A and B are shown apart, each in its own frame.
Chain A
């Protein structure tokens, strides 16, 4: 699948809209101007960037949620999480993008872990990537929600909300992924 633009800083409008949907989180207005959401209780910290799909007379700005996982891994590697099933969603699998044998072990563990499957099964993600490395691991998630569609002809503007069930599934999915990686090290 062609991915149109590398993620960049989100528009202030998208950040404002996400803020309204992100209950249990507060916007961290740090001095380094990053867009960061921190939990008021337990949960991962999210840095938000956005990817823009620009088309003729229209554009969609999609939030990309990045979370540092509380684990590190001895080798570098990248893994993509995917749903399985021909028409109906049947489960979850993991696919190695880069990395050697040690990364393959993590892939096998993620693909077979029932906790990961349970958490990610209801999540409407369009992209879910995990980066592994000695300096830390990170999850990067793009959803259908938390995106803004603008079309000039016919003139339509619409924000696709990040609903509570999706927010919770993302948080719990990231937690489960971190648990499995930690157990595999």
Chain B
């Protein structure tokens, strides 16, 4: 590495481009739980779920317009927090972003660790003894290996994200097309199969809540705004293409699974498409043993890569918090040789391990909490829509590199659609109260925190909108 040549640098070259933005927007579809959701949806709803995906797709396109306009005004890493703070003040910003994002943290690492084990036990024949119970050790083994890798400072080379996302997306498309072209093995009628949850409007709306989960997270591209080349063009493009790519992959994968796997009752009222068991059976039907290994490795790699990022990133954040005095000094410890924050790595791994052991692969047992987190997500989406409209009225002078087409129709369509989806969010077997109770408890706790933080610590008016210029200046972005 030359050390003499880097003084005259060009700032443009630091920016990241469209491939990374698209990979970030599409990246979340690789989560194992998303595959399971698609299967469950098509298994229960058949062609009704396909309509639900189409409605969710339109809602997400409208929502993407709001995010794109907000990211153009505020190209900050603060993302949702900054948009809502500018439109509605710090109280709603803290409550919305905490409820939607922080609470998801609590489940994400644990669920990913547990899911990795469950999926591996179904995808790899030699691990099938752990399907009923004990699959947690697979997730734990993964976490331990990744922790050691991080402790000795091994880093993957660049482009992991683009490569992994492309690999997973291509895998879903290839298996989807393969499953549609191969001879049909199930007894479904029509392209997506018939509905077992009814065919009226209520049935479709119940399925929209589930379908929305397939797209949630596409907005993660917005915090990259300050680093992107031409963010006002790249962000809308990445979000629109990302939402379309996700919809395409889910249509193909769902239809192919329904066509290749007979949705039999496993005996206790659980159907095979509601379980990870359908994945190896589908892979077998499309490409035999090779297909089973391929899909199994793809899902495991995705979980491993996600966990690796969390371990490496969060342990560094813990280091920073220790230096700031908000965590014990021990988290600021660096190993003299490997230069890695070992205590932080250990704690992140411990949380994932303990959570996975407690769950013991029973991810469905926290489904109401996951849906409550989805409710929180929807809540923050609506806040962003309202903020975009408030800013249009109050600050028409702001530079808007991207303006929502057909304003305010997308904001209204997205908000109303999201609220309707939230009303019908309870799937068969759960009541609204099962989901709303934890949601409102979470929301109340976040609101209380927001009030204490703004009144007690920041000593600011939580209801006053924050100047967009100030929010940009806080992140070092010139106005």
Q: Give chain B nearest CB distance to A143 CB in angstroms.
A: 10
Report which of A8, A33, A60, A86 forms a contact with B312, defined as CB distance below 8 A. Answer: A60
- Residue numbers in A under 8 Å from B77 (CB-CB): 13, 148, 150, 157
Can you name the residue of chain B whose Cβ is closest to the Cβ of A140?
B3
- Residue numbers in B under 8 Å from A15 (CB-CB): 476
Q: A83-B337, A144-B334, A152-B217 are in contact. Are A12 and B477 (CB under 8 A)?
A: yes
Q: A66-B3, A87-B336, A126-B339 are in contact. Are A5 and B154 (CB under 8 A)?
A: no
Q: A13-B477, A90-B336, A131-B3 are in contact. Are A4 and B155 (CB under 8 A)?
A: yes
Taken together as a complex, chains A and B put the C-alpha atoms of A71 and B297 apart, in Å, by 54
Q: Give chain A nearest CB distance to B326 CB in angstroms.
A: 11
A160 touches B319 (CB 8 A): yes
B320 touches A161 (CB 8 A): yes
- The total of chain A residues at the interface (CB under 8 A) is 78
Most buried by B among A84, A127, A163, A166: A163
Q: Give chain B nearest CB distance to A85 CB in angstroms.
A: 4
B313 touches A160 (CB 8 A): no
Taken together as a complex, chains A and B put the C-alpha atoms of A60 and B77 apart, in Å, by 13
A53 touches B155 (CB 8 A): yes
Chain B interface size band reads 35 or more
Taken together as a complex, chains A and B put the C-alpha atoms of A57 and B13 apart, in Å, by 21
B7 touches A47 (CB 8 A): yes
Taken together as a complex, chains A and B put the C-alpha atoms of A127 and B309 apart, in Å, by 21
Q: Give chain A nearest CB distance to B183 CB in angstroms.
A: 35
- Residue numbers in A under 8 Å from B125 (CB-CB): none
The answer, yes or no, to whether B164 is at the interface (CB within 8 Å) is yes
5 smallest beta-carbon distances between A and B, as pairs: A16-B476, A160-B320, A56-B305, A58-B309, A9-B14
| Chain A residues with a Cβ under 8 A of chain B | 1-17, 19-20, 32-36, 47, 49-50, 52-61, 66, 78, 82-90, 124-127, 129, 131, 133, 135-136, 138, 140, 144-145, 147-161, 163, 166
List 22 A–B pairs whose Cβ atoms lie within 8 Å, in order of A's numbering. Answer: A4-B155, A6-B1, A12-B476, A35-B11, A47-B6, A55-B308, A56-B164, A56-B306, A57-B305, A58-B312, A124-B334, A126-B339, A131-B4, A144-B316, A144-B341, A145-B320, A149-B316, A149-B317, A151-B310, A155-B105, A156-B314, A156-B317
